[in-house]
Amino acid sequence: MAFNRMEVSANSGAEKVFDVLKLQYRKAKAELIDAIRLAYWTGPTSAADVDAMYSIPCWLPLGTVSSTGGYTGYTARYNDQAVAGGTAGTAFSKGGLASTAALNPEMASYFADHQGNVDESLMRIVNEAMMRLNFKPPVDVPDPVMARVNKYACFTTKNVMLTLNTLYQRLNSNVGPNMFANGYYPLSMIPLPGAVRLVWVDILDTQRDAIYGKDPIFGVNMNVLYPTYLKGWNMTLTDNDNSGRHLVGQKFIDFGGQVWADVPSKAGFLITDAPAA
C-alpha cells in the first residue's frame, strides 16, 4: 500500500475528511485476499516459484486417466501447462515424498475421472468417493450460541452446479417427491450423496488441465487438509520508506502460508474430466 504523506497531513485533526491510511489498507488487504484465494486453488508453476503456496490441488492431484475411482493421486502437478491444453502439469513429489503403488502408497489421494459426464453416472462416482473417504454431513452443535460446524465440504464449478440442478428438476418432475428432502430434491446448495453440500468456487470455472482438469469436484476433509501460516506472518504490516519519492509512504502486507495435509490418503478426493496426457 502506498500513500502521499502530504495528503495524510491534510486529512488529520479537525480538518480530517477521511482516513487515507485506512482506505489504502483496506484496498491493499482486499487485493491480497483475492491473491491468496487464487493461490489456494492453483499452486506453484515450478520448483523455482517461491511466491506461490502449496495449494489444495497439490494435495488432491490428478490421478489415472479414465479411472472410475481409486487411490491414484500419487504425485502433485505444477501449473505449467496451457489452461485447456489437454496436458497435465509436470509431476513432482507430493509433500516432498515420492509415492507410487509400491513406495509410500499412503501419500496417494483418491481420484476419479468423470470424463465430462456430468449426469447420473457422476452421482455414482461421487457416492463411492464419499463412502471410501467416510465423508459425513455437517454436524449441528447442541449449543445454540455456537455456529454449525462444517468439517467436510465439496467445491466445484458453476457448470456442475447448474447441470445437477437440472438433473434434480427432472427427478422432481418425473420421479416425484423425495421423502429425504422434505418433499422434493432441493434446487439450492445442491447436496451430494451423503448430504454433503456442493459449494461453487468461481476460480474452478477456468479449466486448468495442468492441475485439476475440467469441471472438477474437490472433496475436502478439513479435519486433515487445512490452511496454515508461518508464525508472525499472517497479514503482517511492515514499513518501508520510498527512497525514490520522498513524499510517498509505503507499507507492505505479507502473508506466509500454505495448505497442509496431515494424512494425504484421508484428505479428500478429486473427481474431474482429466486431460488425456
Mind listing the pLDDT tens digit for each residue in 97-136?
Answer: 999 999 999 999 999 999 999 988 998 999 999 999 988 7
Domain count of the fold of the chain: 2
Selection from 191, 132, 193 nearest residue 165 by Cα = 191
Query: In terms of domains, do 84 and 217 share one?
Result: yes
Query: In terms of domains, do 129 and 187 share one?
Result: yes
Cell of 102: 509400491
Query: In terms of domains, do 152 and 237 share one?
Result: no
Query: In terms of domains, do 86 and 127 share one?
Result: yes
Those residues whose C-beta lies under 8 Å from the C-beta of residue 75, and which sit 6 or more positions away, are 61, 91, 92, 93, 94, 99
pLDDT in tens, 28-72: 999 999 999 999 999 999 999 988 999 999 999 999 999 999 999
Q: What is the span of the domain harbouring residue 11?
A: 1-41+231-254
In a domain, 46, yes or no: no
| CA dist list (Å): 107 to 73, 74, 120, 222 | 8, 7, 30, 17
Query: In terms of domains, do 37 and 66 share one?
Result: no
| Residue-level pLDDT at 193 | 73
In a domain, 249, yes or no: yes
Q: What is the DSSP letter of 264?
A: G
Q: What is the DSSP string of 32-78?
A: HHHHHHHHHHS--SSTT-TTSPP-HHHHS---STT-SSEEEE-EEE-
Query: In terms of domains, do 60 and 145 share one?
Result: yes
Query: In terms of domains, do 147 and 201 share one?
Result: yes
In a domain, 17, yes or no: yes
pLDDT in tens, 228-239: 999 999 989 888
In a domain, 47, yes or no: no
Q: Is the pLDDT of residue 184 over 50?
A: no
Query: In terms of domains, do 190 and 243 share one?
Result: no
In a domain, 239, yes or no: yes
